[in-house]
Structure formats: structure tokens, C-alpha cells
């Protein structure tokens, strides 16, 4: 098994007036990567930011931090090159947003980014399966995408479990309502990339929340490898 536990704070839950400083603070607190939510007001009923903000963050934070772009946009094809140019590390698009994932996956890879593929709660995991061998990460949404602060949907865990069973070395990310109360369910199901918004960003001690989430994942990964 080649996957490891990685914790990515969702920076949309931070104080957006000082985004660069908030990102630095998260990295200093032990974040493995930064999860950046891009919303276009079409695919989801909310608008966030685009490539110029990503470019500013990359300039300020340097080449090291891993930027996982969660592209909640209705035409993911059109933002691949601008995001690559801005300094994105991984381009995670939604299966529901395109009728032709194949060329899009190829385009993302050729732009020098890793490929993530996400599904909303209403989409079956079997619809993602044909593409699993071509991507770096599968994202299982544990809330309806578009707004922070929603309640974690435990009934998404069978999707995570199915993916982990079918694709043992795939990075599997969960996003939505994930924090200390729900991490064990995510970790036991087989998620190894954990997006957490308010639970980390609004905490008085983000470092301890990040290490708690990572420890729960690492423990589940170790148990899984012993059980095999």
C-alpha cells in the first residue's frame, strides 16, 4: 500500500481578508496540503476565487505547498491551463460537470498537474470507477458542494470503502463536515486525504486538530495493512 495520511485544511473557512497569512499559519501547524475551493456560481450556488488568487498565494508561499484545487465549476476544461499557469498542484474536477472526462484527464496531466476526480453525494461510486486507474485521487463529497459548515453525511462511507477495496493504492479524499467527531468513520472506510474546514480553521489549536486527524488516519492505514 503506497498511500499515506494527509490532512488538507479547507482555506475557504479562513479569514479571507488575510488569506496568505492564514495559509502560512496552516502550513506551520502541520498541514500536508491546502485545499482550495473554486466555485463559479453555476455548478454550485456560490462564487469564490480564480487563478489570480492562486497565483498570488503561490508567489507568497513559494514552490513547496501542495495546492489541491477543488474545481466546483460547470466547464472544468476551460480552467486547466490558467490554473496550471497560476501554480496549482492538483486539479480536482467533478464527474458531473463534464460529459467527456478522458480528454480532460489527459489535458490536466499534460499541463503538469495531478488529477483528482470528485463525485457529489447523489452520484454513485460505480460512475467514477472506469476512470480510477487514470487519476491520482478520488474525492467523495460528504456534503452537497457549495457551502461550508454542513453536516457530515455518514452514508457516503460505503463509497469510500468500495473504492479502497477496488483500488487499494488510490488516494481517496473526503470533504465536507469532517472533523474530530467524524474522522474515525472516514479513516476506517479507507479515506487517506482529509479535507477539514471549520474544525481546523475555527479551532483555538489547529495544530492539535491536524495531528489528531492524521493519527486517526495513520492508525487505520496501519490496521488495514496488518489485516491483509
In DSSP terms, 158 is beta-bridged to none
Distances (CA, A) of 141 to 37, 162, 181, 222: 13, 14, 17, 24
- The model's confidence at residue 34, banded by pLDDT at 50, 70 and 90, is very high
Residue of 18, 25, 47 whose CA lies nearest to 9: 25
Domain boundaries, the chain: 6-227
The answer to whether 144 touches 123, Cβ cutoff 8 Å, is: no
Residue of 80, 35, 86, 81 whose CA lies nearest to 195: 35
Query: What CATH fold (topology level) applies to the domain 6-227?
Result: TIM Barrel (3.20.20)
72: phi then psi, degrees, rounded to nearest 5: -90, 70
Percentage of residues of the chain with pLDDT beyond 70:
100
pLDDT of residue 47: 95
Stretch 38-58: mean pLDDT, rounded?
97
Stretch 71-91: mean pLDDT, rounded?
98
- The model's confidence at residue 138, banded by pLDDT at 50, 70 and 90, is very high
The answer to whether 83 touches 52, Cβ cutoff 8 Å, is: no
> Does 147 have pLDDT greater than 90?
no
> Does 2 have pLDDT greater than 80?
no
Catalytic site residues?
A: 37, 175
The answer to whether 144 touches 43, Cβ cutoff 8 Å, is: no
By CB atoms closer than 10 A (0-12, 13-18, 19+), residue 182 is buried
Amino acid at each position: 500500500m503506497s498511500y499515506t495520511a494527509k490532512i488538507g485544511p479547507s482555506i475557504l473557512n479562513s479569514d479571507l481578508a488575510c488569506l496568505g497569512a492564514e495559509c502560512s499559519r496552516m502550513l506551520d501547524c502541520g498541514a500536508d496540503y491546502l485545499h482550495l475551493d473554486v466555485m463559479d456560481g453555476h455548478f454550485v450556488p456560490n462564487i469564490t476565487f480564480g487563478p489570480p488568487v492562486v497565483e498570488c498565494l503561490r508567489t507568497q508561499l513559494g514552490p513547496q505547498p501542495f495546492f489541491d484545487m477543488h474545481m466546483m465549476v460547470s466547464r472544468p476544461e476551460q480552467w486547466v491551463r490558467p490554473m496550471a499557469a497560476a501554480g496549482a498542484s492538483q486539479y480536482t474536477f467533478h464527474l458531473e460537470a463534464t460529459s467527456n472526462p478522458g480528454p480532460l484527464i489527459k489535458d490536466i496531466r499534460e499541463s503538469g498537474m495531478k488529477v483528482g476526480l470528485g463525485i457529489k453525494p447523489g452520484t454513485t461510486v460505480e460512475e467514477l470507477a472506469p476512470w480510477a486507474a487514470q487519476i491520482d485521487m478520488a474525492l467523495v463529497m460528504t456534503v452537497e458542494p457549495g457551502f461550508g459548515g454542513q453536516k457530515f453525511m455518514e452514508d457516503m462511507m460505503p463509497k469510500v470503502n468500495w473504492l479502497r477495496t477496488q483500488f487499494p493504492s488510490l488516494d481517496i479524499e473526503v470533504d465536507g463536515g469532517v472533523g474530530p467527531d467524524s474522522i474515525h468513520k472516514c479513516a476506517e472506510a479507507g479515506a487517506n486525504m482529509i479535507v477539514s474546514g471549520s474544525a481546523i480553521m475555527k479551532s483555538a489549536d489547529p495544530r492539535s486538530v491536524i495531528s489528531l486527524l492524521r493519527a486517526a488516519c495513520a492508525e487505520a492505514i496501519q490496521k488495514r495493512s496488518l489485516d491483509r
